[in-house]
Amino acid sequence: MNILILYDTVFGNTKKIAESIADGFSAAKAKVRLIQANEAEPRDIADADLLVVGSPTRAFRPTAATMKALKDPLCTFTGKKFAAFDTRIDPEEIKSAFFRKIVTGFGCAADAIEKTLLKRGAVKIAEGHPFIVTGDQGSVLRKRETEIAFDWARTLLANAGSR
């Protein structure tokens, strides 16, 4: 199985998660490539049996580079198996109830990634996965997030094989 992990990053956390997912796939002997969203080419998408897309959540959405790659008219997603992930702050850690409601109500990067890929005919194999960041503007990964990402890769492999 050829797996492409397409990601973008702002503080480096989404890249760390993408690398941990890649390690999880590699440990299971899958062929995996990591490509930053602004470097993706249509042939990269075409060659993948499974596409895993991740972005930091910025203003309730994925980064512009992520969306540009997913909306590229030269890329074909019809029938392509995919899963989405994002890095985001934990709404439970937001002290203001008003702001917490805004954050939970407006969505996250994984939601927008899923909607875009589903509209383009891709097949979702797992629910979008959040990876939590903390610190000033979400600049630090919460402990154990990379281990969770590694394990999530195994789940994705199992799901991709059954669909």
Mean pLDDT of the chain: 91
Q: What is the pLDDT of residue 160?
A: 94
In sequence order, the β-bridge partners of residue 7 are: 36, 54
CB 158 within 8 A of CB 104: no
How does pLDDT run across 37-54, given as a tens digit for each residue?
999 999 999 999 999 999
Q: Tell the residue number behind the tokens 């760390």, with chain if given.
A: 16
Q: What is the pLDDT of residue 87?
A: 96
Cα separations (Å) of 14 from 55, 143, 157, 159? 6, 14, 20, 22
Instruction: Answer yes or no: is pLDDT of 94 > 70.
Output: no
CB 5 within 8 A of CB 137: no
- Pull the structure tokens for residue 108: 């996250």
- Pull the structure tokens for residue 163: 């669909």
How does pLDDT run across 95-104, given as a tens digit for each residue?
666 665 666 6
List phi, psi (to 5°) of 122. -75, 165
Q: What is the pLDDT of residue 89?
A: 83
Residues spanned by the domain of 91:
2-161
pLDDT band at 136 (very low <50, low <70, confident <90, very high): low
Number of domains in the chain: 1
CB 139 within 8 A of CB 133: yes
CATH of the domain at 11: 3.40.50.360
